[in-house]
Amino acid sequence: MMKDSQMARHYMVDLETMSTASNAAIVSVGIAEYNETDVLRTFYTNVDLKSCVEAGLAVDPSTIMWWIEQASPARAALMKDSKHLTVALTGLATWLQDDGPSNIIRLWGNGASFDNAILASAYKALNLQQPWPYWGDRCFRTVRGEFALDPADQPPRVGTYHNALDDAVTQIHWHQAILRRYNMRLGS
């Protein structure tokens, strides 16, 4: 039996990026801690694209063209108060550490090769230690694909499409709906 202090803490992260490669430049990070019923804490930061390119992260013209086609609230939100990549990543690490030891972090992203891999690659590009353990990687896209929800059980979209925090919170609501529907709990 695990002690309370060793209980896993679950986080959903969503990145907005300028490429879909695993070394993509990151333009915003949204992340929220959650449990079976609630969203507990949130963190959001925009990232200065130039600082990503200077760190060697990738920009793909087709992703830039995709962004130009998106709704203006999502594009405008990217421009506000952008932080240097170093400041953004150390800020995220500090926010995670405020909760306790890193070995209990379970980090959910949307796609086994997407958010978590890109974020790990950005920490590596700056020679910073990634603030969650590799065994804490979790894939929400897999869970969503394997545990289908009837339309009546599907939670409504919150906020702005492609706003990283709104996307993360929407995914959390979906995950919580799956847990309810299939009578499951978050893992340890």
Binding site residues, Mg ion, CB under 5 A: 14, 167
**Nearest CB to Mg ion, comparing residues 48 and 167:** 167
**Nearest CB to Mg ion, comparing residues 14 and 33:** 14
- Identify which of 159, 186, 185 has the alpha carbon closest to the alpha carbon of residue 42: 159
Least CB distance to Mg ion at residue 143 (A): 17
Least CB distance to Mg ion at residue 101 (A): 28
Handedness of CA 133, 136, 139, 142 (dihedral sign): positive
139: left (phi over 0), alpha (psi -120 to 50) or beta: beta
**Nearest CB to Mg ion, comparing residues 33 and 167:** 167
Least CB distance to Mg ion at residue 160 (A): 10
Least CB distance to Mg ion at residue 126 (A): 22
Residue of this chain nearest to Mg ion (CB atom): 167
Query: Per-residue b/e over 35-58, b at no fewer than 16 CB within 10 Å?
Result: eeeebeebbbbbbbbebbeebebb
